[in-house]
Structure 1
Amino acid sequence: MANRFQILLNVLKKQNKVYIQPHNIPDPDALASSFALGLLLERFGIPSKIIYGDSIEKVNSKRMVDMFNIKIECIEEGFSIEKDDFIIFIDAQRGNSNLTDLQAKRVGVIDHHDKMTKAKYEYEDIRTEMGACSSMVTGYYQEMGVEPSLEAATALVYGIMTDTDNLTRYNNNADAEMFYWLYKYADFTMIKNLRMNEIGKADIYAYAKALQNIEIYGNIGFIHIEDCNDSLLGTISDMVYTIEGVAIVVSYAKREDGIKFSIRSGLGGVKANNLVQYILNHQGVGGGHGEMAGGFIRKSEMQFLENKELNTYVRYRVLSYLEKENSL
């Protein structure tokens, strides 16, 4: 098997500037993999800068930035790149609704989601069987025989834990192997601190509202929340997923800019990424994995809802899909 990181190094030789860009509103896996990748590139003489769009919302993500002293810059109005600059998308791809695309000509991608478009990349490492990008970057360290710093190892362990739900999601031995390889380098006191800071005080009110709005139909949990941010919507989906008897969760939030969806599925015959695509019905964009997926319909694409009630529409699409898949 080719050394993936060496291929990346060959691509990046003599670059003017290298940027590492996770998806907007980066979560712990996106932050950890970006941070550790930057440190590894630096060991081989390639400086880089981590950039991101929108904001950092999750309490644990903010805590990671402080704890590991992650140097990261928000893409604001007026931010620009030169034509020879190189951007590495990590935990994101062109076509993602939650990626601020700077339209760079030279780009690479490191991701564990299905390929969303026919975009061409100078470097491409897309492995849908992996549960976390942190596992993929850990593999780069292994390939190069490099021991990660305590900070890099700890961040990567936490990234794997959060994106695989403590190694219970995706059922891939490679994630577990990367986790246990990192174990001896990581500081679990720091990880414990991160796990004690995963929910903000302001989030409690959104949780209360979500609990009031839950509707359970058989083994499906539906949650409609008004104006909820991306991070919190996913966290609420995870919470509802733990309710006894619930195997599928469909959470959605209608906001000023459109409708955001968060899907969870514990049924082998119902893939969350396929379900969200069916709900979207060729409107907006969506993707993810068999157990976890998300989607977004922009306000400009919502004309089809003019004479429909949102809750009725979502339930109709979900139940139609499950009947089609004989999963009801």
Structure 2
Amino acid sequence: MDSKRGLFLVICDDPELASTLVHIQKNMDIKVWLPNKQNQLQASLLEACEDSKDIEEILVKGDITKASFYHQWSGYNPICVVLSLKDHDKYSIVREYILDELPKSRILSFQIGDPEEVPRKLVDNDRELVLSWTELLSRPISAELRHIESTHRVKEVRDILLNGDKIALLLQPDPDPDGLASALALRCLLGRNKLSTPIVSFGKVTRPENIAMMQLLDLEVLTIKPQDLSNFDKVALLDTQPAHFTFPLPRVDVIIDHHPMVGNYQNIPYCDIRSKYGATSTILTEYLRAAAVNIGQRLATALIYGIKADTLHLNREVIDADLYAFVSLYPDINYNLLRRMEKPEIPMAFAPLLANALLKMEYQDKLLVSYLTNVTREDLIPQVADFMLQFEGIEWVVCAGVFEENLVMSIRNVGYVKNAGDVVRKIIANVGFGSGGGHRTMAKAIFPVNQWKEKISSIKEDIVKKSLLNLFVEEAL
């Protein structure tokens, strides 16, 4: 998780397990218990961890059958304890101390045996996951840790949202497949329908592939105004954050997103933002698996399309969680529906717009800019940007157009240059107005036309292109 750093405490009498955990756990402070008494176990654990950096900080001595051993770790949050002891009596004593002295910790218990002999189970109010060594070999330990965490997150988000009779699942204006799939998944997780828990947005869905997804999966997105949120008991933001909007939201109860955090959301009851994840659909897939919710063909197809769309078919900003979610969903999807969503018809309006954009585009070094003037559909702007990134020698594309009193920009890059989202946020900070953000390879910026004219320049074609070159050459190249 992207929250504050936690503790990964390993208490085991198997040196191989200790060695494995030391070398794969990178996100938390790891501590490996070392017996006080000099014996074969102590020597083996020392040898197993000797190749690790900061071995003196990793290995900790102490009597694990006394409460004092656990008191020293109480300041950490979160805490995950890996427990594996062959002596059953000692295992039981240690387990009780962990439950009592570290009440907020999660426990991952390994037991020797076949999965049929040691069935996977969650015990003590889902605080402890018990599984066999055989299962560990077939599933990454990182996935097990995420599974434990997800069970608690599911309970928390359900407790918050199910208190409301009417819940709004709010997406960004002109929502994309990742947002649509995430909203559908959260509604399924809550066991609600579209009447009590509608998917809403402040802007219509316009891109052809997103419209195709909605039609093929029978999804409905209601276009509302910000003040309409007061008609709902609870509001959940999916694949977006309050700071991504140009105006304050009247209320937010839940945020689930994978974009970099922008702002301070300490006053929001539930916030799960994981910027290392390739898609919000991955987070919701983990929620559904942890809650043992049946993922039907329609939902599986939506989620896998959400993951593919936001990671460019698993080619961009992917971690093991995205891959695992993709693999687990793939057998249950409808392949024909997925193909039809991925290759929708291109509107005829795109042809003359692209022809004009190609004639009037300008570039400097490895940056290409194009200004489409007024557009009748906002989705045409990113479509032109996607097309232009294919030109030889071009690393950055900035395509802009005026849509509904806003100057809208779609930014694309080849991936091995600066982060597009960071560049957009810096430009917005420099000019002092506007909104936007994004990922490493694609981003969006929105500037009200009135403010652009007042603080930057005219919206005449040549002047806008010159302004775009000046803004992005400085920050991107």
Sort the TM-score into its range (normalised by shorter chain): 0.7 to 0.9
Relative to the length of structure 1, the TM-score reads 0.88
Q: What is the CA–CA distance in structure 1 between the aligned matches of 2:294 and 2:359, rounded to whole Å?
A: 48
> Residues 134, 192 of structure 1: CA spacing in aligned structure 2 closer, same or farther, 3 A cutoff?
same
Match of 1:310 in 2: 464
SS in 1 for 2:174: coil
1:223 positional shift: 1.6
Q: Secondary structure at the match of 1:2?
A: helix
| Aligned pairs (5 A) from 1:212-231 | 212-228=359-375, 229-231=377-379
Query: Does the C-alpha gap of structure 1 residues 307 and 86 become closer, same or farther in structure 2, counting only changes over 3 Å?
Result: closer
Q: Deviations over 1:73-106 (max 9, x none)?
A: 2215974534x711101111112237x86512x4
Q: List runs of 5+ in structure 2 lacking aligned partners.
A: 1-147
In 2, Cα distance between the equivalents of 1:108 and 1:295? 24
The 1:189–1:256 alpha-carbon spacing in structure 2 relative to 1, beyond 3 Å, is: closer
Give the CA deviation at 1:21: 1.0
Pairing of 1:11-50 with structure 2 (within 5 A):
11-42=160-191, 48-50=197-199
- The answer to whether 1:149 aligns with 2:296 is yes
| Equivalent position amino acid for 2:205 in 1 | I
1:188-233 deviations in Å (ceiling 9; x for gaps): 1111111231522322332223322332333222121112343222
Give the alignment partner of residue 55 of structure 1, picking from 204, 211, 215: 204
Unmatched segments (≥5 aa) in structure 1:
none
- How far is the alpha carbon of 1:145 from its aligned partner? 2.4
Paired AA for residue 149 in structure 1: G
More off after superposition, 69-78 vs 148-157: 69-78
1:266 to 408, 414, 417: 414
Higher relative contact order (CA 8 A, sep 6+): 1
Residue range with higher mean Cα deviation, 69-78 or 170-179: 69-78
Q: CA deviation at 1:151?
A: 0.2
**More displaced 10-residue stretch of structure 1: 150-159 or 282-291:** 282-291
Task: Check if 1:190 corresponds to 2:348.
Answer: no
Measured in 2, the distance between the counterparts of 1:307 and 1:80 equals: 35
Contact kept in structure 2, 1:41 and 1:47, CA below 8 Å: no
Q: Which runs of 4+ in 1 moved over 6 A?
A: none
Q: In the alignment, does 2:257 pair up with 1:111?
A: yes
Deviation at 1:255, TM superposition (A): 4.0
Q: Which moved more, 1:84-93 or 1:210-219?
A: 210-219
How far residue 43 of structure 1 moved from its aligned partner, in angstroms, is 7.0
Normalising by structure 2, we get a TM-score of 0.62
- State yes or no: 1:283 paired with 2:433: yes
- 2:225 & 2:415 partners in 1: Cα distance? 41
Counterparts of 1:160-175 in structure 2, within 5 Å, are 160-175=307-322
Q: Name the CA shift for 1:189/1:86 in 2 (closer, same or farther; >3 Å).
A: same
Deviations 1:240-260 (A, max 9, x none): 222222221122223451211
CA, structure 1 residues 235+136, in 2 after alignment: closer, same or farther (shift >3 Å)?
A: farther
Q: Find out whether 1:253 has 2:394 as its counterpart.
A: no
Percent sequence identity over matched residues? 25
Find the residue that maps to 1:200 and give its secondary structure: coil
Q: Which stretch has the larger CA shift, 1-10 or 120-129?
A: 1-10
Distance 2:229 2:271 in 1: 23
Distance 1:216 1:316 in 2: 11
Q: Is the 8 A contact 1:252 1:261 kept in 2?
A: yes
The superposition leaves residues 128-168 of structure 1 with CA deviations (integer Å, 9 ceiling, x where unpaired) of 11222222211111222223110000011111111111111
Contact persistence 2:421–2:440 (CA under 8 A): yes
Structure 1 pair 226–211 and aligned structure 2 pair: CA distance change class (3 A): same
Instruction: Please report how far the alpha carbon of residue 269 of structure 1 lies from its aligned counterpart in structure 2 after TM superposition.
Output: 4.3
Amino acid at match of 1:26: P
Distance 1:52 1:297 in 2: 19
Rounded Cα–Cα distance in structure 1 between residues aligned with 2:344 and 2:215: 12
